[in-house]
């Protein structure tokens, strides 16, 4: 197996690092290195990472960018396989890393893990993980765009792996993007004919029960990213997948949750739909309103956010 470098962007991650360290050290396949790229944490993140023997890069908090920060880290590591992991994603078992990189070693350009809901996640969030990260693995290529539209580019940097040579040949992650750098990277890979593997056997525990305001803001940013996208992501059409997801989520929550949970699903869908479609039309909004609507409000201080 080629040498593996794990890259973890962090910000005030001290509460997550002990469990993350234990999970990484328990793997049947050991990485060659772990690199933390830290955005000026105010807690013990950097101290802990260095105690664990991990390498640390420090950047100013305002310099963080979803794509550029990961690209910066990727330029400094030695592994031929790059594994990107979120600070709050905990590998679920000792096979996580070996399973994740196996398709890349076999020739896939990239791979991403299955995400499992946290034990106390709400019914609606449990369904979201089950729907978006099913129990069966699959491989996507350019031919899937006709059937899945923009969903063919679904790919998550919460836990992902890619060959370093392919990463640089494809132009790495887009820089100065508001969100969705991973989906845009996936589009870059699919367009020239590369394959992307979803690996259900590689599992991480990761979920968020965002409130309505944050769901609105997050989906506003997703809408902006889709409006600004070029190439395959711009050409790939939308489908009825959103309605399919909502119907499935409502059915699941009726069985597994409460009447209040059903109302929360409807409210959340409304927040996500309105946020996304406002984001798609962000150019019609004044900058102050874009900042107010956005999860990544610092983005609108740049020239790109004008």
The pLDDT tens digits for 258-278 are 999 999 999 999 999 999 999
Mean pLDDT to the nearest integer, 140-165: 93
Residue 41 and residue 59 in contact, taking contact as beta carbons nearer than 8 Å:
no
Give whole-number Cα distances, 220 to 60, 259, 274, in Å: 25, 28, 8
Residue 273: Cβ-neighbour burial (10 angstroms; 0-12, 13-18, 19+) = middle
> Measured between alpha carbons, how far is 181 from 187 in angstroms, rounded to an integer?
10
Residue 182 and residue 190 in contact, taking contact as beta carbons nearer than 8 Å:
no
Residue 110 and residue 196 in contact, taking contact as beta carbons nearer than 8 Å:
yes
Q: What pLDDT shows up at residue 223? A: 93
Give whole-number Cα distances, 78 to 31, 46, 158, in Å: 11, 21, 21
Q: Worst-scoring range by mean pLDDT, 104-108, 166-170, 239-243?
A: 239-243
Mean pLDDT to the nearest integer, 229-242: 74
Query: Is 304's pLDDT higher than 60?
Result: no
Q: What pLDDT shows up at residue 176? A: 86
Q: How confident is the model at residue 233 (pLDDT cuts 50, 70, 90)?
A: confident
Give whole-number Cα distances, 191 to 26, 36, 230, 293, 298, in Å: 37, 31, 12, 32, 31
Q: How confident is the model at residue 146 (pLDDT cuts 50, 70, 90)?
A: confident
Which tokens belong to 248? Answer: 């499935």
What percent of the chain is predicted at pLDDT more than 70? 96
Query: Is 305's pLDDT higher than 60?
Result: no
Q: What pLDDT shows up at residue 203? A: 98
- Residue ranges and CATH numbers for the domains of the chain are 4-205 (3.90.550.10), 212-305 (no CATH)
> Measured between alpha carbons, how far is 135 from 69 in angstroms, rounded to an integer?
31
Query: Is 300's pLDDT higher than 80?
Result: yes
Residue 279: Cβ-neighbour burial (10 angstroms; 0-12, 13-18, 19+) = buried
- What number of residues does the chain have? 306
Tell me the whole-structure pTM to 2 decimals.
Answer: 0.93
Q: What pLDDT shows up at residue 301? A: 80
Q: What pLDDT shows up at residue 302? A: 62
The position carrying tokens 């998550």 is: 156
The position carrying tokens 């367009």 is: 191
Q: Worst-scoring range by mean pLDDT, 6-10, 27-31, 231-235, 268-272?
A: 231-235
């Amino acid at each position: 197996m080629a040498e593996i470098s794990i890259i973890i962007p962090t910000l005030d991650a001290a509460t997550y690092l002990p469990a993350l360290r234990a999970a990484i050290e328990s793997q049947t396949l050991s990485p060659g290195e772990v690199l933390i790229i830290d955005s000026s944490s105010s807690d013990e993140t950097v101290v802990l990472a260095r105690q664990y023997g991990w390498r640390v890069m420090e950047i100013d908090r305002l310099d963080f960018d979803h794509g550029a920060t990961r690209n910066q880290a990727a330029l400094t590591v030695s592994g031929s396989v790059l594994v990107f992991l979120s600070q709050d994603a905990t590998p679920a078992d000792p096979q996580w890393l070996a399973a994740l990189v196996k398709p890349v070693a076999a020739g896939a350009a990239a791979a991403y893990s299955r995400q499992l809901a946290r034990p106390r996640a709400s019914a609606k969030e449990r369904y979201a993980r089950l729907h978006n990260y099913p129990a069966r693995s699959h491989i996507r290529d350019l031919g899937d765009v006709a059937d899945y539209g923009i969903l063919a580019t679904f790919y998550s940097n919460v836990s992902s792996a890619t060959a370093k040579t392919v990463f640089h040949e494809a132009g790495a992650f887009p820089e100065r993007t508001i969100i969705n750098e991973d989906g845009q990277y996936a589009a870059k890979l699919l367009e020239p004919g590369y394959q992307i593997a979803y690996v259900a056997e590689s599992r991480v525990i990761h979920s968020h029960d965002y409130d309505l305001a944050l769901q609105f803001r997050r989906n506003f940013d997703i809408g902006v990213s889709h409006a600004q996208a070029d190439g395959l992501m711009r050409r790939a059409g939308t489908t009825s997948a959103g309605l399919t997801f909502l119907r499935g989520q409502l059915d699941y929550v009726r069985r597994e949750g409460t009447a209040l949970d059903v109302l929360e699903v409807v409210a959340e869908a409304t927040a996500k739909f309105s946020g996304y479609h406002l984001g798609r039309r962000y150019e019609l909004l004044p900058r102050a309103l874009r900042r107010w609507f956005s999860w990544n409000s610092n983005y609108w201080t740049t020239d790109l956010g004008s």
